[in-house]
Structure 1
Amino acid sequence: MKFNNIQSCHLGPEISPEQFIPEHFFLFLLKGSMVSYDGYRYYDMKPGDYCIARKNHLVRYTKHKDNGQFEKVIITFDEDFLKKFLDRHPYHAEPTDNTDSFLFIQEDKLIHNFVHSLEPYYNGAEQLDDIFVDIKREELLMILLKNHPGLKDIFFNFNVPHKIDLEYFMNQHFKFNISMERFAFMTGRSLSTFKREFKAIFNTSPGKWLMKKRLDEAYFLLDKEHRKPTDIYIDLGFEDLSHFSFAFKKKFGVPPSEVVKLKG
């Protein structure tokens, strides 16, 4: 189905650009494609796909434009909004063993018509007029719960992450560029407990371990897979190329570009 007159828009609180999803959000891809990775699996998203991105998950995105365009509809279901919704529409959430970071939603007439219904509310930018935001968010939430009743166990679970295997989690997620506070929260620990247990397991501090782990992985990618420094530094959790190059040379004695040349 075509959405030729729909443009990118965002309803609700803005989603942080970091690799941690702080609130649930509905995502509909209009143009372009996207591959997301959460440390365990990849999620491929194409134009016309709908999904729910789940809060308290780590996700890294790779976006691909189509003729220079990447357009999407994002509708945030933040905790404050969801709790107010529950005051008017009581639901009881049950524990769920679903750990997927993205839940894909099959298109039906209600979802399709909802997306089309956003068009008249545009104020000329990517944001809808504030007066309509919560009305449209509530409409979408009711559609989703009608079509997929099990989503109540996702949306209305306000518990913080439970304590999980720290060593396994860190080895799966060391490439993600988030703060120590986020790592602690994701593993169900206070920051002080996280640091103490981390030192007991790895015999070093989280910061030193992350740097070594990322640089060792960088050397492997450059030396064995002949990757370019410019292609790997972001995926390894470094914010800029100069920081990556400085840290790499400090550890290995040569800049990353020299490792590639030696194997060229």
Structure 2
Amino acid sequence: MAVKRENKYAEMVLSCSEDHQYRAEKVLDDHALVRVVSGELKVIQANKTFIFNAGDTLLFPRNQLSTLVKTAKDGRAYKSIVIRLASAQLREYYTKNQYDQLQAHTVGIVPLDKNVLLESFFSSVVPYFDLDKQLPQKILTLKINEAVEILRNINKDVDNILSDFTEPGRINLADFMEKNYIFNIPLVKFSALTGRSLTTFKRDFEKAFHLSPQRWLTQKRLELAHYYISENHLKPINVYYEVGFENLSHFSRAFKKQFGYAPTSINQG
């Protein structure tokens, strides 16, 4: 079970996972600065996988479609500190501060090297989670501005990420879906990430694939599952979540409906 402790403001979260492993798909609406306190964090994206351990820090840009796998390690449950860098505060910051504006480009997860400034920053925010009252807004603003200053000090390209407030533009829908169909997120998120309204997304989708989005997603995920089970000899229980299904029973029913036999019957005998 994943639990969260907040300091009365959503900008700072202490995230914990009590189970041995916790998985979830995420698309953040704002950038986030993440410090892994204990355990292991695996971030799976369409073209790359990152693994972070205790003491590691990363910048998680907004609008990044990812699967997060949080795992206990070395006898300790997964725990992390997440600092949300809200767009509204970043706009205010960059309005007041001079910076060399770079051309916006697509970015992924940004691993950050160990640095004394980061160590000092996270040590300073840990006590806030034990407050029995709200953290004053002025202090919260100061801490987030401090986080931005530190990021700018240790990464010369971070302004290119944090000062870019554009929303996803319209991209090739077919290419995007072929790369990202395993991510189990609502259609409205898929539509936003391709730069479309939900209505336009559905219309363009059916033009591209001649199927409804949900029907196509189910078929693609089942085909991938069949490959994993038949060719890689994986068990259904180890496959269903990897290909975008939420529970094993739904996966098994859909698999049998599409192929005419249960996934457990493959590789028997």
Q: Please report the TM-score for the alignment, with normalisation by the length of structure 2.
A: 0.84
Indicate how the Cα distance of structure 1 residues 200 and 98 shifts in structure 2: closer, same or farther if over 3 A, else same: closer
For 2:48 and 2:127, the matched residues in 1 are separated by 38
Deviation at 1:36? 1.1
**What are the equivalent positions in structure 2 for 1:2-41 lying under 5 Å apart?**
12=11, 18-41=25-48
Residue matched to 1:74: 82
Match of 1:94 among 90, 102, 112: 102
Does residue 151 (structure 1) correspond to residue 145 (structure 2)? The answer is no
Structure 2 unmatched runs, 5+: 16-23
CA contact (8 A) 2:25 2:183 kept: no
1:226-261 deviation per Cα after TM superposition (whole angstroms, max 9, x unaligned): 11111111121111111111111111222222224x
For 1:192 and 1:119, the matched residues in 2 are separated by 44
Deviation at 1:76? 0.6
Deviation at 1:24? 0.6
Most deviating of 163-172 and 85-94: 85-94
Indicate how the Cα distance of structure 1 residues 166 and 13 shifts in structure 2: closer, same or farther if over 3 A, else same: farther
Deviation at 1:91? 4.5
Most deviating of 113-122 and 181-190: 113-122
Secondary structure of residue in 1 paired with 2:157: helix
Deviation at 1:124? 6.1
Structure with a larger share of its residues in strand = 2
For 1:119 and 1:164, the matched residues in 2 are separated by 41
For 2:80 and 2:60, the matched residues in 1 are separated by 13
The number of equivalent residue pairs is 251
Aligned partner letter, 1:204: L
Aligned partner letter, 1:214: R
For 2:123 and 2:6, the matched residues in 1 are separated by 12
Residue matched to 1:194: 201
CA contact (8 A) 1:51 1:104 kept: yes
For 2:12 and 2:213, the matched residues in 1 are separated by 31
Residue matched to 1:239: 246
Secondary structure of residue in 1 paired with 2:208: helix
Paired-residue identity, %: 28
CA contact (8 A) 1:24 1:77 kept: yes
Does residue 174 (structure 1) correspond to residue 172 (structure 2)? The answer is no
Secondary structure of residue in 2 paired with 1:118: helix
Secondary structure of residue in 2 paired with 1:57: coil
Aligned partner letter, 1:151: V
Match of 1:110 among 113, 117, 133: 117
Deviation at 1:94? 2.9
Structure 1 unmatched runs, 5+: 1-7
Most deviating of 188-197 and 150-159: 188-197
Secondary structure of residue in 2 paired with 1:161: coil
Indicate how the Cα distance of structure 1 residues 198 and 181 shifts in structure 2: closer, same or farther if over 3 A, else same: same
Residue matched to 2:19: none
Residue matched to 2:126: 119
Residue matched to 1:3: none
1:156-211 deviation per Cα after TM superposition (whole angstroms, max 9, x unaligned): 21111122222211111000011111111111122222222222221111111101
For 2:86 and 2:25, the matched residues in 1 are separated by 16
For 1:228 and 1:124, the matched residues in 2 are separated by 46
Does residue 217 (structure 1) correspond to residue 211 (structure 2)? The answer is no
For 2:251 and 2:127, the matched residues in 1 are separated by 47
Match of 2:135 among 119, 125, 130: 130
For 2:203 and 2:127, the matched residues in 1 are separated by 54
Deviation at 1:20? 1.5
For 1:68 and 1:117, the matched residues in 2 are separated by 22
CA contact (8 A) 1:13 1:78 kept: no
The RMSD of aligned alpha carbons is 2.4
For 1:56 and 1:230, the matched residues in 2 are separated by 30
For 2:250 and 2:217, the matched residues in 1 are separated by 14
